[in-house]
Structure 1
Amino acid sequence: MNIETLLKELSFKAIRSSGAGGQHVNKTASKVEVTFSVSNSEAISDREKIRVTEKLKNRITSEGNIILQSGKTRSQHKNKAIVIKRLIDLIEKSLIKAKPRRKTKPSRGSIEKRLTSKRNQALKKNNRKNPKID
């Protein structure tokens, strides 16, 4: 993945943000929306595109775009930096290959320990019962 070309492929849109800020919020567009086209990208290879689309299938639109927004701060520049970092982190995490799980079984000692504690618990409960009189 080439981050420099990825940054050139991003398209930004400024939107009016909601939340605290008074009249300032109603006049300025401080929320930033970034759109990244996974299918048309030259920053990532074909293998990486397949992996990203599989891992992020719930975040990719039907056109093959990833859309992220940030309106955390009142500054458009800070929101732009935040949303770029989130997008890069999201793509990098989706490219990480998961280690295969190795099946394991409990050791003989742990099995014996569990069974003896079960027996002791059963004896304790049995001893609390009233004695049977015939």
Structure 2
Amino acid sequence: MEQEIRGLRVSHRTIIPEDEIEEVFIRAAGPGGQNVNKVSTAVQLRFFASASTVLGEDVKERLLKLAGQRATKAGEILIEASRHRTQERNREDARERLVALIREALVPPAPPRKKTRPSRGAVERRLQAKKGRSDTKRMRGRVSD
């Protein structure tokens, strides 16, 4: 019988374990009246990317590069969510944003483009077209008596 792994599902093969994610609830800034001063609805999600056992080294490198300002020097990714009024919705939002970031990092980069040279026929056609344009423009000049 297969053991159910609890965590954040990124893809059908990748599940981030709960112990690699830490959530801290903080007070949100901005409008909201008294509620914003009393209730900690915003969430600060911290993913320990460099210590992750699920992701490969190349994926971790791409993930930290994609995270930009959200990545710390210690190799953690910090996502703050305070868009919604409820703690649960902000928690889901932060997790969705982390999943989207990891999915983007899981996609390997495209291979570099191979340099090609134009064929001899293509070069000749381009030169003929240039000569034709040159002749056309030369014919537009002043008519000499």
Tell me whether 1:79 sits opposite 2:102 in the alignment: no
CA–CA distance in structure 2, aligned partners of residues 109 and 79 of structure 1 = 61
CA–CA distance in structure 2, aligned partners of residues 102 and 79 of structure 1 = 42
**2:71 maps to which of 53, 60, 69:** 60
CA–CA distance in structure 2, aligned partners of residues 73 and 113 of structure 1 = 61
2:108 alignment partner, SS class: coil
2:72 alignment partner, SS class: coil
Query: What runs of 5+ residues in structure 1 fail to find an aligned partner?
Result: none
CA–CA distance in structure 1, aligned partners of residues 144 and 117 of structure 2 = 42
Tell me whether 1:125 sits opposite 2:137 in the alignment: yes
Report the alpha carbon displacement of residue 109 of structure 1 after superposing the two structures with TM: 5.2
Counterpart residue number, 2:3: none
2:25 alignment partner, SS class: strand
Tell me whether 1:51 sits opposite 2:63 in the alignment: no
CA change 1:73–1:115 in 2 (3 A) is: farther
Describe how 1:11-30 pairs up with structure 2 within 5 A.
11-19=22-30, 21-23=31-33, 24-30=35-41
CA–CA distance in structure 1, aligned partners of residues 40 and 125 of structure 2 = 64
CA–CA distance in structure 2, aligned partners of residues 71 and 98 of structure 1 = 32
Identity of aligned residues (%): 34
Q: CA RMSD in A?
A: 2.9
CA change 1:108–1:16 in 2 (3 A) is: farther
Report the alpha carbon displacement of residue 63 of structure 1 after superposing the two structures with TM: 1.4
Q: Give the TM-score of the pair, scaled to structure 2.
A: 0.65
Report the alpha carbon displacement of residue 107 of structure 1 after superposing the two structures with TM: 4.7
Deviations 1:55-86 (A, max 9, x none): 12445311121111223323322221121122
Report the alpha carbon displacement of residue 25 of structure 1 after superposing the two structures with TM: 4.0
